[in-house]
């Protein structure tokens, strides 16, 4: 089984809808991250969390919110989706070393 899982893997939604992307990990890491990747670009950090009580904004947090329900779970919400939020979304975890990624969620906002 994968160490970092994301649900859903693909999602098509309409402008204005609320959507939640979920991430779970079995690696026992305290640190979790949400990134977005636009076609042909690198990764941009949306939010990160170093433990359940610690949530931090990344470089592109506007339009997004997160919830760290437990050490193993970190959810990303789009309160009112817009077309330019169409992207590939990655959850990642890390210890004091390497960062490990989930398989990604392809989100399309029509």
Q: Which residues bind another protein (CB under 8 A)?
A: 31, 33, 41-43, 45, 48, 50, 58, 88, 90, 92, 94, 97-101, 103-104, 106
Q: Cβ of residue 14: shortest distance to another protein, in angstroms?
A: 23
Q: Cβ of residue 73: shortest distance to another protein, in angstroms?
A: 20
Taking Cα atoms as reference points, which of 4, 3, 6 lies closest to residue 76? 6
Distance CA 44, CA 61 (A): 10
Q: Cβ of residue 35: shortest distance to another protein, in angstroms?
A: 8
CB contact at 8 A, 23 and 102: yes
Distance CA 91, CA 29 (A): 13
For residues 5 and 77, which CB has a smaller minimum distance to another protein in the complex?
5
Distance CA 3, CA 68 (A): 17
For residues 43 and 55, which CB has a smaller minimum distance to another protein in the complex?
43
């Amino acid at each position: 089984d994968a160490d970092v899982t994301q649900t859903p893997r693909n999602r098509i939604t309409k402008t204005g809808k609320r959507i939640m992307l979920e991430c779970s990990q079995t690696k026992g890491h305290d640190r979790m991250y949400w990134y977005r990747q636009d076609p042909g670009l690198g990764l941009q950090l949306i939010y990160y969390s170093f433990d359940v009580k610690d949530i931090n904004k990344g470089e592109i947090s506007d339009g997004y919110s997160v919830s760290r329900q437990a050490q193993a779970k970190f959810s990303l919400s789009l309160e009112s989706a817009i077309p330019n939020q169409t992207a590939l979304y990655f959850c990642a975890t890390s210890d004091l070393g390497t960062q490990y990624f989930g398989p990604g969620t392809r989100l399309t906002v029509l």
